[in-house]
Amino acid sequence: MSLQIQIGDITIHRIVEQEAPFFDPLAFFPTLQKEVWEQNLAWLQPRYVDPASGKLMLCIQSYLVRTPHHNILIDSCVGNDKPRPTRPFWHMLKSDRFEQGLAATGLAVSDIDYVMCTHLHTDHVGWNTRLENGRWVPTFPNARYLFADRELAHWTQRHKENPDAYPWVTDSVLPIVEAKRVEMVKSDHALNDLVQLIPTPGHTFDHYSVQVGKHGQDALITGDMIHSPIQARYPELGMMADFDSKQAGETRRKVFGRFCDTSTLMCTAHFPSPSTGRVTRWADGFQFTDA
Ligand SMILES: [Zn+2]
C-alpha cells in the first residue's frame, strides 16, 4: 500500500485511520438506479465494492502535505473517544492507527503548522481535538486550523439550533474556535504559491479542495467532492449527506473538466487504497485511473 507520494519538492503522506466496507451503495447514493449499479459492478468489484457484503469499500484518511515551508494536515479523520451514536463504526473509537500513521511520517503532532478541513463533517474533523482530563483540546499544539468562513458559520448555526444532532461540532470544531486556533478563510484562499484552496461546494455549503505544487507538478486533495469513482462516471450522482447534490454535480463536472487529461494527481478522501489517480474522459463522464 503506497502511503507516500513525491511531487516535485512536495511530499504527500497518507494517514489511514480505517479502510473497510462501509455503506450500502443504494442508500449511500439515493438516486442511483439498481440497474445502473448492476451494469457497473463488473469494473467496481472487487476494489470499490466488497463482493461479500455488496458494500462500498472506503478509506477514512488524512493527507499530510510537506512543502519546503510547512507541514499541512488536510482533514483529520474520525478521532478517538467521540460519541457518534448514529454511526456505530465511529462511535467512541479507540484506535491507534491515526497516531501510528502520523508517527510513520517521521513527524509529531507539534510539527504540524496547519490543519485544513475541506469541510466540517464528522470524518474530517475528528483528530482536530483529543480528550485531556475530560476536556477537548487541540491535538496539534502549534497549528492554525483553516476553516472556510461560510462553512463554519453554517455549522455553528445548525449546531445552535440543535446541538445534539451535531456532536462533532461540539467536540471537534467549537473547541478549536474557543482555543482561538481558527483562521477563517475564503474557500479560494491562497496560502502561498504552492498551496491554493479551490471552492468545491455542494457536498457541504462551503466545501474546499486543496491544490498543492507548481503547474505541471501538482496534486488536488479533493476532500469529499467525490466519494466513489461511479461519481466520476456519472458526475450528477449525489450522495446521502450532500447539502446540495445538484451543485455537487456541477462542481464535479467543472473540476474534472479542468483537470482531466492533465498530469494533476487527484488525492481522494474516501476511495480505497491507493486512493490517488488521474482523470480522463469516459463517454459523457470521467474515468478515474489509479496512479
Ligand atoms: Zn467524508
Distance 75 CA to ligand 1 centre (A): 9
How many angstroms separate the CA atoms of 61 and 78, rounded?
9
* Interval between CA 71 and ligand 1 midpoint (Å): 22
For residue range 32-81, list pLDDT tens digits in order: 999 999 999 999 999 999 999 999 999 999 999 999 999 999 999 999 99
Q: What is the number of other CB atoms lying within 10 angstroms of the CB of residue 2?
A: 11
CA atoms within 13 A on the CB side of 95: 22
Ligand 1 centre to CA of 285 (Å) is 22
| Helical H segments across the chain, by residue range | 25-28, 34-44, 97-104, 149-161, 167-168, 174-178, 230-233, 245-259
Structure confidence at residue 125 (pLDDT): 98
- CA 227 to ligand 1 centroid distance, Å: 8
Query: How close is the Cα of 79 to the center of ligand 1, in Å?
Result: 13
CA angle 193, 194, 198 (to 5 degrees): 90
How many angstroms is it from 193 CA to the middle of ligand 1? Answer: 27
Through-space distance between the first and last CA atoms of the chain, rounded to whole angstroms = 12
Statement: the pTM of the whole predicted model exceeds 0.85:
yes
Per-residue pLDDT band at 5 (split at 50, 70, 90):
very high
Q: How far is the centre of ligand 1, averaged over its atoms, from the C-alpha of 19 (Å)?
A: 13
**What's the chain's average pLDDT?**
97
Q: What separation in Å is there between the alpha carbon of 121 and the centre of ligand 1?
A: 7
pLDDT of 190 > 70? The answer is: yes
State the virtual CA torsion across 169, 175, 177, 181 in degrees, nearest 10. -130
Q: How far is the CA of 29 from the centre of ligand 1 (A)?
A: 14
Query: What per-residue confidence (pLDDT) applies to 1?
Result: 54
Q: What is the pLDDT of residues 222-261, one digit of tens each?
A: 999 999 999 999 999 999 999 999 999 999 999 999 999 9
